[in-house]
Amino acid sequence: MKDRLIELGYLAGWRVVRALPLPVAKRLFRTVADRAWKGDGPGTQRLRRNLRQVVGEDMPETLVRDALRSYARYWMEAFRLPTQNRAQFLDGFFMVPESYQKLKKAATDGNGVILALPHVANWDAAGAWVCSHDWPLITVAERLKPEGVARAFLAYREKLGMKVLPHTGGERSPLEVLTEHLGKGWVVALLGDRDLSRSGVEVEFFGGRTRMPGGPALLAIRTGAPIFAVDCWYDERRVMARMREITPPADGPLDERIKRTTQQLADAYAAGIADHPQDWHMLQKLWL
């Protein structure tokens, strides 16, 4: 019964929120965020601890409020994205020109490109923007519970133009399928700041130790495809982005090369998060 209620809640969100005028939807989700901040539940408390690791003990409490507002904005946009068209996808996302030129070259060279990013701003808008340039994109999604929600998210992302692989339970290993698509020149986009396998690569991150998935690094080393860490943040109107190029070491044991490349990614994520901590949506335990 609980799973069914959760499923109905998500499905209602997709139907109702997209029908609201945008100013009404914005006010509604900001109100929900502010109530979550004042309610100070477990997710808010975890977010506060995570942000304190980023900015230090003198962190203003308003940062937690602003981060919850950013997270609520993500959900508001997620519920509305399926109703938008190509022109709106392109207008709602802006990549700084230098990064855009690098991505354009990589996406059209035919060797594939790997984009790794943390849970920042609206990563679905980033994917829709890539697809709107007619660059084929494939990603991997966590298998959510209940199953009805997982199916809804799969359909949602596929409607935005992405090909989506399940993190677990697929017919083939995600790594195998991603390698194959890189060989065909696809863009591979992966969330990389939280390890779902509990066997990830241990890295230093904002002065603490955590684990991050080694998949992006392994793909880059195996295929030679260029790999970039992507920063995303919100301005008043749209999602902004820049890329930071990662250079995997050419020599040494494979496990060491993966570790060093993943640490480069962690450092790049940290640089972007430090610039815009309010747009990092990490409400789960991260540090060891």
- Rounded to whole angstroms, how far apart are CA atoms 62 and 45? 13
> What pLDDT, on a 0 to 100 scale, did the predictor assign at position 1?
41
Q: Count CB-CB contacts under 10 A for residue 42.
A: 8
Single-letter amino acid, residue 267: D
**Beta strand pairing call for 227-234 and 239-246:** antiparallel
Q: What is the pLDDT of residues 187-215, one digit of tens each?
A: 999 999 999 887 899 999 999 999 999 99
**Which helix or strand (DSSP H or E) is residue 62 part of?**
helix 61-80
Q: Which two tokens stand for residue 280?
A: 């990092």
Q: Count CB-CB contacts under 10 A for residue 255.
A: 11
> What pLDDT, on a 0 to 100 scale, did the predictor assign at position 2?
45
Q: Give me the residues paired with residue 241 across strands.
A: 95, 232
CB 283, CB 46: distance < 8 Å: yes
Q: Which of 154, 100, 165 is nearest to 126 (CA)?
A: 100
Single-letter amino acid, residue 202: E
> What pLDDT, on a 0 to 100 scale, did the predictor assign at position 154?
72
What global pTM score does this model have? 0.93
Q: Give me the residues paired with residue 229 across strands.
A: 116, 244
Strand order in the sheet with 163-166: 93-95, 239-246, 227-234, 113-117, 187-191, 137-141, 163-166
CB 86, CB 93: distance < 8 Å: no
- Rounded to whole angstroms, how far apart are CA atoms 222 and 90? 32
CB 126, CB 189: distance < 8 Å: yes
Question: 142 in helix, strand or coil?
Answer: coil
* Most distant CA pair in the chain, distance: 56
> What pLDDT, on a 0 to 100 scale, did the predictor assign at position 145?
58
Q: What is the pLDDT of residues 16-57, one digit of tens each?
A: 888 889 999 999 999 999 999 999 999 999 999 999 999 999
> What pLDDT, on a 0 to 100 scale, did the predictor assign at position 143?
63
Question: 209 in helix, strand or coil?
Answer: strand
Question: Which residues in the chain land under pLDDT 50?
Answer: 1-2, 5
> What pLDDT, on a 0 to 100 scale, did the predictor assign at position 7?
58
Question: 156 in helix, strand or coil?
Answer: helix
DSSP code of residue 81: G
Residues with Cβ within 8 Å of residue 176, at least 6 apart in sequence: none
Hey, which bits of the chain come out as E strands?
93-95, 113-117, 137-141, 163-166, 187-191, 201-205, 208-212, 227-234, 239-246
DSSP code of residue 122: -
